[in-house]
Chain A
Amino acid sequence: MTHSKKYRRAGVTAAAMTALALALVGCSATGTSASANDSASKKGQEITVAIVPKLLGLPVFEANVKGAKQVASKLKEKIDYTASVKASGADQAQVIMGLVNSNNRPDVIAYSANDPTSIVPALNAATKAGIKVIGFDSDVTASARSYFIQDTSYPAMGQALIDAVAKKDGDTGSYAILSSTKDATVQNAWIDAMKSYAAKKYPNLRLADIAYGQSNQATSQSQATNLINSNPDLKALIPIDGAAVPGALAAVKSQGAVGKISVFGIGDPNPNKQYFEDGSLTGLFLWDEVKQGQLIAYLARGVADGTIKGATPTFTAGDLGSFTVSNDPAKGTIIFSKPLEFTKDNYSKYNF
């Protein structure tokens, strides 16, 4: 090996190490002060609440965070909004492990889980480290958290959708549901609620079929097209996940069925503005995401202070009013609100 080659190799090694050192600079930037973590009451002290939704950048979760921040200063809370780039349970688990191992551990972690199991080990580690764990929107196994804020009660959502269909299209004929995946817990609960309510209240309103769009707009569209073509008497299409709504609407439009088939979905108004405008979207149901975010902040304060603990039957969350803790459908469930309907006339009032 010649001298020049040797030096060059050493130079390259040095370059590689420098690059790595640069990559690591980000970590040394954070402080080294360790926060004391005991499970004692935090009454009166400032607490950090980490909100970890399914992924970054989804308008509904941004609305949750906005709501939490609105009441944060009043509740002496610091809101830390962090999540993975992809909607993946494993990535979310990594993010939560990162919070548990960080120098500044949060006092409360509020998650919306990508799936019921992937983040359970990470949440257990959080609880072990003295962090209070609460959930909202999408739950995990109940043993891994203290309380869970359910968006709305499943029967109420099912009832609202079916009533809307019957009111618009009459109580005969058929409707079809477009869901995300076969094992999506919340969607399945809505489907069951719709089925049982329709069977009881409108026996002549028939569920034609259920299709699954895999949370993908293109797949949703082709599944919705199938539903429309294989059920000539279809009166209403009910897409019940974020990608299913635009997918169903695209199918209704491309099949020239606007006005003939009404679309009642579950989703947030902002991404669907244009469909309200062009008349293809009949109605959309959700809940007030901003106020739900406020409830997250109130609940976080309560569990950190120890004022909400165990089987507390009810608690008051400031202006939001009083909430009841129930064991249905799972231990420690708090139902946030009744479904909120967005229509052509009111959608512009909500910004999420």
Chain B
Amino acid sequence: MTTTTIAPSRRRLPVWGTVLAAALVVELMVFSLTNTHFFGGGAGMLSQIELFLPTGIVALGLAPVILTGAIDLSVGATASLSSVLVGVLILHHVNPVLAIGIALAVSTIIGLVNGLIITLFGIDSLLVTLATQFIASSLAVSVAGDNPPFGFPDMFLALGEGTVGPVPIALLIFLVIAALVMLLIGRTGFGRRIVLIGYNPSAARFTGVRVMRTFVGVFTMSGLVAGIAGIVLAAYFNAGRSDSGMSLLLPAITCVVLGGVDIFGGRGRIGEVVLAVLVLGYLTQGLLNSGVSSLTATMVTGLLLIVALVVKIAFERRSGESFLGTLRRRFAARTGGSPGVGRGAKGGSEKAAAEPRDPAHS
């Protein structure tokens, strides 16, 4: 209880990733067998989750934030603002590339401001991003005006509905961002600092990690990625709408959590988040394709999330420990905590003491 043992890092297959991959394979097989339009010669299957990709992209920006133990509620509104901005600019005959650049710059600034307020004033990320969410969505509404922009040139639309061979461009964008975030978290010092802060912010601070700088970096990145999601949204729907991004937030959080990222930070793999995006995206569309009502599909998503979280806790059982014991151990660590930067500070040192974990687990 009082010793913090760090388990030796072993090369073994990530268990949760294997479960998700297996789930994905089963899902794709079942849908391909039961639905005549699902497989579509392989290529059709790739376009099935087009509608879900903006959510997936947002999840990729959100995952590092949640890894630090913080949360970013402003991503949906940032995506909306980005989609509206790019649309309005293009319709005002700004070069599409420049328009995308401006929209992404604004999104990045929103993320930067989030990070700065959180670290400089030491306010909980939940509250700060709740506030910036309102600001960003109001900005989006006012930029969109009475006639939200629609009807963009084909060159821009390709980002949302175009394909390279059989692969949708939006899917490529998603995969490229996924690869970059995966490298960032797994292979760089910045990534290790993110995980360490989430795992134990006090320890991170004592070992000389620049916690504030890392936080600002993570939130800036989240803003940028949300901005990219907004551009894909605008290109897919051929319209910029001030409410289009709002529906991305909760499914994106669902993907991150289903992807095994601890909602309190410090643990999770980006690869598993990518798998979770695919599992959830194909499940939703596959169920709808099978004539299941949207009501049932939403319910199944909720059930799946609960089942997944319970199963995941079961995996974390130590030998000889009862299931309820695992639950108690995990949640005992959440009570109390020292004030500090963001949500990352919550549970602080008690968490690490109560729950020795493998920091190399990401």
Contact = CB atoms under 8 A, between A and B. Distances in A.
Interface of A: 2, 4-5, 8-9, 12-13, 15-17, 19-21, 23-24, 26-30, 32, 34, 56, 82-86, 88-91, 93-95, 97-105, 115-118, 120-122, 141, 181-183, 188
Contact of A117 (B33, B141, B150): B150
A101 B37 CA distance: 5
A24 B291 contact: no
B295 A183 contact: no
Given A85-B295, A120-B238, A8 B247 contact: no
Q: Which 7 pairs of residues, A with B, have the shortest CB-CB distance?
A: A98-B288, A117-B239, A27-B290, A101-B289, A101-B37, A84-B294, A34-B36
B161 interface: yes
A149 B147 CA distance: 22
B244 A103 contact: no
A101 B48 contact: yes
A94 B288 contact: yes
B307 interface: yes
A17 B146 contact: no
Contacts of B238: 117, 120-121
A117 B285 contact: no
B311 A27 contact: no
B37 A82 contact: no
A91 B297 CA distance: 11
A30 to B, nearest CB: 5
A133 B51 CA distance: 20
A16 B311 contact: yes
B188 interface: no
A28 B30 contact: yes
A34 B27 CA distance: 20
B289 A188 contact: no
Interface in B284-328: 284-296, 298, 300, 303-304, 307-308, 311, 314-315, 317, 319
B257 to A, nearest CB: 15
Contacts of A88: 247
Interface residues of B, number: 59
Contact of B22 (A9, A17, A118): A17
Contacts of A26: 287, 290, 292, 296, 300
Contacts of A29: 290
Contacts of B319: 2, 4-5
B interface, over-half SS? helix
Contact of B291 (A21, A34, A103, A141): A103
9 contacts: A82-B294, A95-B288, A98-B294, A102-B35, A102-B289, A104-B291, A121-B238, A182-B146, A183-B242
A122 to B, nearest CB: 8
B237 A118 contact: yes
A213 to B, nearest CB: 14
Interface string B52-88: 0000000000000000000000000000000000000
Given A15-B311, A141-B150, A188-B146, A91 B35 contact: no
A27 B30 contact: yes
Contacts of B247: 86, 88, 90-91
B304 A30 contact: no
Contacts of B243: 89, 115
Given A17-B19, A83-B294, 13 more contacts: A15-B314, A17-B26, A20-B304, A23-B283, A29-B290, A94-B294, A98-B285, A102-B288, A102-B289, A102-B290, A103-B291, A118-B244, A183-B144
Interface in B225-258: 236-239, 241-244, 247
Q: Which of A9, A29, A115, A118 has the most CB of B within 10 A?
A: A118
A89 B241 contact: yes
B167 interface: no
B199 interface: no
Nearest to B246: A88
B285 A121 contact: no
Interface in B126-151: 141, 144-148, 150
Contacts of A28: 30, 33-34, 290
A97 B237 CA distance: 13
A276 to B, nearest CB: 32
B15 interface: yes
Contacts of B292: 26-27, 30
B23 interface: yes
Given A26-B292, A27-B34, A116 B236 contact: no
Given A88-B247, A115-B241, A24 B27 contact: yes
B22 to A, nearest CB: 6
B27 A19 contact: no
Nearest to B251: A90
Nearest to B30: A24
B31 interface: yes
Nearest to B16: A16
Contact of B307 (A16, A95, A97, A122): A16
A208 B214 CA distance: 52
A83 B298 CA distance: 12
Nearest to B151: A141
A188 B148 CA distance: 13
Contact of A27 (B35, B242, B298): B35
Contacts of A15: 311, 314
A9 B315 contact: yes
B174 interface: no
Contacts of B311: 12, 15-16, 19
Contacts of B237: 89, 117-118, 120-121
